[in-house]
Amino acid sequence: MVLGNEMCDQTPHPSQCNTLLIQHPTQKPIGSTEEFLRVSMEGTLNGAVKAKNDTYSLGEQFDSKQLEKGAWEDCMELFDRTIHRLNQSVSCPDYVCSRSDVQAWLSTALTNLETCREGMSELGVSFDSLDGITNDVTNTLAISKKKGMEANGNGLGGELGILKVAVETPSISRRSPDAVVAQDGSGDYKTIQEAVDGAGERPRGSTRYIIHVKAGVYQEYVNVGIKSNNIMIFGDGIGKTIITGDKSKGRGFSTFKSATFVADGDGFVARDMTIRNTAGPENKQAVALRSDSDRSVYYRCSIQGYQDTLYVHSGRQFFRECNIYGTVDFICGNAAAVFQNCSILARSPPNRVNTITAQNRRNPNQTTGIVIHNSLVRAAPGAQLGGGVRTYLGRPWGSYAVTVVMGTFLGPLIEPKGWMDWGNETALTTLYYGEYGNSGPGSSTANRVNWAGFHVISDSEEARQFTIHNFIDAASWLPSTKVPFTSYL
């Protein structure tokens, strides 16, 4: 019989683990990793609720400080999201949810807490409750990975095989939309947000709710809330249906709150539209689309901005035949995101340096990363990228950043070094950057960085870890969306 406190010795934070066991006593000794994981998840959920309450009590001290108040409000929202993902992990039965579901949700919980920490630390604010619950989630994530390894073997940084086929995302049938948005009053609503609100709360597994947004320029900020699952929004095409805003860090918004369009509810699908942030390169971080939707799909969309254009914050996400425009870190975040048959278009940067990706994996047990597959990387039309402008495939926002480019055409804009550091020497050994089977004038790896974490992938088996079925568990949910995809290298 293996006791829980002995298992705690194998976690990243043993003392925090033992404290959790004391606070959450069980009726019998813990004798298996499965039981240990259950107790850890339940105790972590309780701890997250307490940490949220502790954080709420800090709010009064920020009332007269706009920036601090904004960061605190972000944290409160992020605690809610953390509790939501922990609830999913605890309450979803094994016969419904796969191991990859639980690992993805725990990865998201940790990402939410790290986003809270980052926003507060920029302002020099810290609090003990955030440290404690972060350690609890980190431990639970490690225990979950250990359980998976016992069942299915190991993979890169905890990449996941499929143990069970989870509940499918509801399919997109050929039927009339549930709601139509038209600015001229010919539809059910004049704004997109009204149509989303009209859908009401939609639980996991509910029938797809389809919203058609007719051609027009919609100057509004859209939020598909965390309780609005399985919503699809489709437009009349790129450049015809346009959603636009201009919030930015330079104008007093956090990166997290600067997005023109936010997708929180799981199973979200967007297709045939343009989403943009027009704040411009001088206003720093300015997100066009932020996605926290697990099992979300973006098909034939144009996502336009400059710095931090596309914030793939968390969850499993798939982009197909999309155009993404930007300058600095313009595909960023800590989702497990795959880009397939996309055009990634670099604009003229304000400081003469472009970084296409900034992946933010902070923990080796998270199942996150950015994969660019069978795509095209080139200069945006009209962009002036000569005269000393340097464009890199990415830089590591998190110490365990994972970014892989494979089967992709790389234009001449890509610097021979390929990748840029972020002043963190440790990250250069702990990250995983990979290139496999690319083409084009920017694809030569002869002069790439010599970091321990950079890999010129030659083994097809290693590359297959980053195909959609292995990386985002696509077999259990993507086919039902009816969006085309490539499952092989």
Per-residue model confidence (pLDDT) at position 162 = 32
Write down the residue that tokens 């359980």 correspond to.
147
User: In terms of Cα–Cα distance, which of 345, 330, 403, 399 is closest to 375?
Assistant: 345
What token pair was written down for 317?
A: 């996400």
Per residue in 326-339, pLDDT tens?
999 999 999 999 99
Q: pLDDT by residue (tens digit) across 383-440?
A: 989 889 999 999 999 999 999 999 999 999 999 999 999 999 999 999 999 999 999 9
pLDDT class for 147, splitting at 50, 70, 90? Answer: confident
Q: How many residues would you count in the chain?
A: 489
d(CA 67, CA 123): 8
pTM over 0.85: yes
Higher-confidence residue of 350 and 299: namely 299
**Given a cut of 60, is residue 154 above it in pLDDT?**
no
d(CA 104, CA 98): 10
> Residue 152's pLDDT is what?
58
**Closest Cα partner for 399 from 428, 378, 434, 439?**
428
Q: Please report how many Cα atoms fall inside a 13 Å half-sphere around the Cα of residue 394, on the Cβ side.
A: 27
Of the candidates 175, 165, 182, 137, the residue with the CA atom closest to the CA atom of residue 42: 137
Which of the four pLDDT bands, split at 50, 70 and 90, describes residue 67? Answer: confident
- Any bridge partners for residue 378, and if so which? 345
Residues annotated as catalytic are 308, 329
| Cα 121 off chain centre by | 21
Q: Tens digit of pLDDT for each residue in 169-185?
A: 455 556 799 999 999 99
- Note the pLDDT tens digit of each residue in 289-307: 999 999 999 999 999 999 9
Q: 399 and 423 in contact (C-beta within 8 Å)?
A: no
Question: What pLDDT score does 167 carry?
Answer: 39
Q: How confident is the model at residue 4 (pLDDT cuts 50, 70, 90)?
A: low
